[in-house]
Structure 1
């Protein structure tokens, strides 16, 4: 899911404010904190990072994230789950106190652990035992008994290491590189232009992303733009919306507003007012 740590854990709030895709990060940081840890070098070809969220809330709180094109393995109080790419807004209701350790796989990397395309996981949360077998349940229990992030990640990596191949699939590496390229250039908006940059036909690019990423190239391009709009909006007032729309390749400001409102459920201006650290 979400990445949450004890609200009293120093750097967690800053981590949430800097985390791209978190909806209303300043508000969330009042309830939740986030810690991240890089993977062991031996797993770095497959794992982007580990994240840990811890929370203690007096009333139920809905944490929301505009998800990235990544698959996650999450060790949760309710059990271990695999989360495919959520193409809408990911929402996790938090109650009481607890923590989750997540493993964020690189785009394309989770294909090595599946019998089918990563697109089969889109918009789904599945029992991790369906992918990893019942042994993952003992890992979940161990992680939930821990308090130190280093110990949690050691448990997860000791479990995952023997299951992953020695080297990533070259097509997975190619897919990850394309996702990074598309994400770094939110002004790249047309799938045919993206296919040209990739040296593929549009259909070939779509097949690659369905097999390895779990979301279409069009979705990845659109989500990169929405992340940029949300990050700018969360920074506060004074945004030149027409100029931002032009920078990101929208046809006009109305197009930007429709796209953002359809995904987040409120206009960029309203989101900016609510998400601002001053709000």
Structure 2
């Protein structure tokens, strides 16, 4: 397995947080198995460069193919993914509010869909990007192709406002900042802050804060399987383990114990770097 996070080009950093390349190759003796992906407070643009990725319905177990490029906005559902024998994904992780500035679409309009075909939201240029990525011979070349695509569109970004400096703080502080403090730092009243926040993030500040805290709990367990859920609940600022279980039922649809088992059985180890 290969996974590497890259700092974006300096001209992209105001709206792009990271670029990640993730590759897994399985030999002929291994059958690809499903692996869980949590809902995260990170909006993304993803490219599947080699084998087609499939998403599995957690109830019916039916699988459907994913487009070669997808946009993920506000997302509140756990996903069961099935990679091919040669899985190669490039992820652009946007700064909080960055996808809104990049697309110019209120994130509330994207709420309710798990993902969108990149071709539908970003136009036919995505076909050229996909083709060039498939022809690339190195990870550095792939990263450069994606950065050049983003740089060409950077001139169309929505204007940066004080709130755009504030939104990433909510993730860095694990969702534990007071809303009135964030509104003050954004030079907005609380009501104005909530309206602009919904436009840029797609969720209310409080709902998003809960998602941030849940994501931190998932990522800790993903990266440190031996840590108990009680310790994770305490570290993530939950009042008690029952509050953590409540959030897992809402955002993942299952209890933490099932997630723990899925992570242990997964062939595809996928580590997030959201809170770094």
TM superposition score category, shorter chain reference: 0.7 to 0.9
1:182 aligns with: 170
SS at match of 2:155: coil
* CA separation of 1:244 and 1:154: change in aligned 2, threshold 3 A: closer
* CA separation of 1:268 and 1:217: change in aligned 2, threshold 3 A: same
The answer as to 2:122 corresponding to 1:153 is no
2:82 aligns with: 93
* CA separation of 1:132 and 1:167: change in aligned 2, threshold 3 A: closer
- What number of residue pairs does the alignment pair up? 243
Which segment drifts farther, 94-103 or 194-203? 194-203
Alpha-carbon offset, residue 142 of structure 1: 0.8
TM-score (norm 2): 0.73
1:15 aligns with: none
Structure 1 unaligned segments of length 5 or more: list them: 1-6, 13-33
Instruction: List aligned pairs for 1:131-142, cutoff 5 A.
Output: 131-142=121-132
SS at match of 1:164: helix
The answer as to 2:115 corresponding to 1:125 is yes
**Match among 215, 231, 247 for residue 227 of structure 1:** 215
How many Å separate the matches in 1 of 2:197 and 2:166? 9
How many Å separate the matches in 1 of 2:184 and 2:172? 17
* CA separation of 1:260 and 1:153: change in aligned 2, threshold 3 A: same
1:206 aligns with: 194
Alpha-carbon offset, residue 62 of structure 1: 2.5
Which segment drifts farther, 109-118 or 243-252? 243-252
1:114 aligns with: 103
How many Å separate the matches in 2 of 1:51 and 1:240? 28
Alpha-carbon offset, residue 120 of structure 1: 1.7
SS at match of 2:217: helix
1:31 aligns with: none
Deviations 1:128-148 (A, max 9, x none): 223332122011111022241
